Structure 1
Amino acid sequence: MNHNTKRNLYTHGLKALVYLCTTLTVGILVLLIGYIFYRGLPHLTWDLLSTGPIHSQDHIGILPNILNTLYIVFLTVLIALPIGVGAAVYMTEYAKNRRFIGAVEFATETLAGIPSIIYGLVGMLFFARQLGFKVSLLSGALTMAIVILPTVVRTTQESLKTVPLSYREGALGLGSTKWHMIRTIILPSSIDGIVTGCILAVGRIVGESAALLFTAGMGTAIAKDVISAYQSGGGTLSVALYMYASERADFDVAFAIAAVLLILVFAINGATKLAQAKLKKKNQ
C-alpha cells in the first residue's frame, strides 16, 4: 500500500468519523426534543397557559411562571448585554496591558465554570439581604446577569478578534475616530458573535433553576404591573418544572412545562436571528 492510498484512507476515515459524530449529535437532539413534545403537547391546554394555580381547587396554571420567565430574561439581558459587550470592546480595542487582559480572560473563564447554585447563594446574601431587595425577580435578574456575563464577554471578544486588522487601519486612515470606527465598522462586522452570545445567555437564563430558587423564589401570584412584579418573588418555568417533577411527581405537567420552555427558547432565538438579519441588512 503506497503513501497516497494510506493518506486517502486516513482522510476518508476521518470524514466518516466526523459524519458519524454529527449524525449522533443531531439524532440525540431530535430524539430528545421529539420525546419532550410527544409527552408534553397532549397536556398543553389553553387553561394551563392562561391561568394561575388555585390551590384550594387543585387547579394547575403556569401563566405566572411564563410571565416571571419573560420578566427575568428581559431585565437580565438589558443589564448584562451592554456591560458584556462594553467590556469585550474595551479589552479588544483599548486595553494595552497584556497581563490585565489575560487576568480578565482567566477570570471570565473561571466564572463561567462556577456552579450556578454558588451564584444563587451569593445573590441571596448580597442582593436579597445586603442590598435589601429581598427574594424578588429583581434579585434573580441581577444574579442571572452575573451568571451570563462571562458568556457574553467571551463570545463577543472572540467575535471582535475575527474582524480583520485592515478594517481598523482603513477606517482610521480615512480620518475616522476610534469610537466611530468601533461603532460603524467593528461592531457591525462582529454582530454574529454578539447574537450568539445573546442566544447562549437566554438559553442559560431560561434553563436556570438553582440560582433562581434562592433569589427569585417560587411564588405563583400574578403582579398588578411590571414594577410590582420585580419587587415580588416568583418562580420561573424552570423552577415550576423542578417543583412539579421533583416535589409533586406530576410528570404530565412537568413535560408540558418542558414543551413550553422549548417553544419559548425557539421563539426568542428566532426573534434574535430576525433582529440580526435586519441589523446586517441595515449596515450593508
Structure 2
Amino acid sequence: MSIATHTARTVTRSVATGKSKEKTPGSLIFLLALWFSLFFGILVLVALIIDTAIAGAPRFDMNLLTNYSSIVRPETSGFRAGILGSLWLMLFTAIMAVPLGIAAALYLEEFADSTTRWNRFVEVNLQNLAAVPAIVYGLLAVAVMALIGFQESGIVLGGALALALLILPVIIITTREAVRAVPQEIRQGSLALGATVWQTTWRQTLPSAVPGIATGTILGLSRAIGEAAPLVVVGLAGSVLFDPEGVMSRITALPMQIYSLTSQSREELQQAASAAIIVLLVMILGLNALAILIRNKFQRSW
C-alpha cells in the first residue's frame, strides 16, 4: 500500500468518525475553548435557576397552584388561571399546528416536485420563517383574526393561533427531516408490491417517522409554552380571576403573569414571580422529557 493511499484512508477515517490524533497547540487551545464555552454556559444557567429557586422558595406551596393572582394579598397569590390558560393554549395550538404541519411536510417531501419555482419559493421561506422573531407571529395572528371577523382580543383562539403560527415552521422542518431519514428501500419495497404512493406514505413512511415527528412536535410545543411576546400582541391579560371555559374565553398565560409581576416592586410579588418561573420551567422540562421518552421508546435503527 502506498503512502498516499494510507494517508488518504487515515484522513477519511478521521473525518467520518470525527476523531483525529492531531495534538498541535492550536488544536488543543481550540478544544479547551470549546469546553470552556460549554462549561461557562451551563454554569450560568444553573446559577440563574438556583438563584430563582431560592428567591421563590417561600412561595412553594399549594396556594401557588390553586389560588388566583392577587395584589391585595400577595402572600397567598397564585397562578391557577395562568397554568390552566397555558394548558388550554397548548391544546388548541397542537390541534391547529400539528396536523397542518405534518400534512405540509409530507406533501413537500413525498409528493411535491422540488424542481418547480413555486416549491423552491416555499422551501426558502420555510427556512426563513423558522428564524422570524416571535412578536411578528403575534402581529400576523392579529391580522388573521381581523380578516376572519373576530373583534375580541385576549381569547384562547387568538393566543393559540399566534403560537400555532410560531411553531408551524419548526414542525414542518422537523417532520421533513424525520420522513427523510426513513430508508428509500422501505418505499421501494412497498411500491414494488403494488401499493400507491399515498398508501406507501400512509402505511409505511409515516409510521416509521413517528418518533422523529413526535419529538419535533413536542419540542415545538415546549418552545411555545414559554413565549410571551406573541401573547402580548394578541391582547392576553396579565391576570384574570376565572378559569377558561371555551375557545372564545378570555384567558391569561403563565408567561404573561410572570411578565406582569416582574414589573412590580413589592417583595411578595417578586417571590411569587420567581416561584412561577420555576413552575414554568418544570412544565417545559416535562415536555422535553416526554419527547426524549418517545424518541427512545419508538426509535428504530436502520
Q: TM-score range by the shorter chain?
A: 0.7 to 0.9
- After superposition, give the CA deviation of every residue in 1:44-79 in whole Å (9 maximum; x if it has no partner): 221121011345555522100000000001110121
The normalised TM-score by structure 2 is: 0.80
Whether the 8 Å contact between 2:85 and 2:244 is mirrored in structure 1 is no
Shift of 1:6: 8.6
Structure 1 residues 133 and 159: alpha-carbon distance in aligned structure 2, compared to 1, 3 A threshold = farther
Name the aligned partner's letter for residue 244 of structure 1: L
Whether the 8 Å contact between 1:89 and 1:160 is mirrored in structure 2 is yes
- Of the candidates 91, 108, 114, which is equivalent to residue 126 of structure 2? 108
Residue ranges of structure 2 left out of the alignment (5+ in a row): 1-6, 11-19
- Of the candidates 22, 25, 28, which is equivalent to residue 7 of structure 1? 22
- Of the candidates 192, 202, 210, which is equivalent to residue 191 of structure 1? 210
Structure 1 residues 29 and 191: alpha-carbon distance in aligned structure 2, compared to 1, 3 A threshold = farther
What RMSD over aligned residues (CA atoms) do the two structures have, in Å? 3.0
Structure 1 or 2: more helix by fraction: 1
1:149 maps to 2:165: no
Structure 1 residues 91 and 222: alpha-carbon distance in aligned structure 2, compared to 1, 3 A threshold = same
- After superposition, give the CA deviation of every residue in 1:146-193 in whole Å (9 maximum; x if it has no partner): 111011111111222222222221222233332332233322333343
Structure 1 residues 203 and 164: alpha-carbon distance in aligned structure 2, compared to 1, 3 A threshold = same
SS of the residue corresponding to residue 231 of structure 1 reads: coil
Give the whole-Å Cα distance in 1 for the aligned partners of 2:21 and 2:103: 50
Shift of 1:23: 3.0
Bigger mean CA deviation after superposition, 157-166 or 189-198? 189-198
The normalised TM-score by structure 1 is: 0.84
Shift of 1:257: 0.8
Give the whole-Å Cα distance in 1 for the aligned partners of 2:160 and 2:40: 36
Shift of 1:277: 5.0
Name the aligned partner's letter for residue 213 of structure 1: V
- Of the candidates 12, 19, 40, which is equivalent to residue 56 of structure 2? 40
Aligned twin of 1:233: 250
Bigger mean CA deviation after superposition, 121-130 or 46-55? 121-130
Aligned twin of 1:91: 108
1:26 maps to 2:46: no
1:200 maps to 2:200: no
Aligned twin of 1:159: 178
SS of the residue corresponding to residue 52 of structure 1 reads: coil
Aligned twin of 1:268: 287
Structure 1 residues 194 and 248: alpha-carbon distance in aligned structure 2, compared to 1, 3 A threshold = farther
Matched residue pairs, number? 278
1:50 maps to 2:66: yes
Name the aligned partner's letter for residue 240 of structure 2: T
Give the whole-Å Cα distance in 2 for the aligned partners of 1:18 and 1:160: 32
Mark the structure with the bigger radius of gyration. 2
Aligned twin of 2:240: 220
1:62 maps to 2:79: yes
Shift of 1:81: 0.8
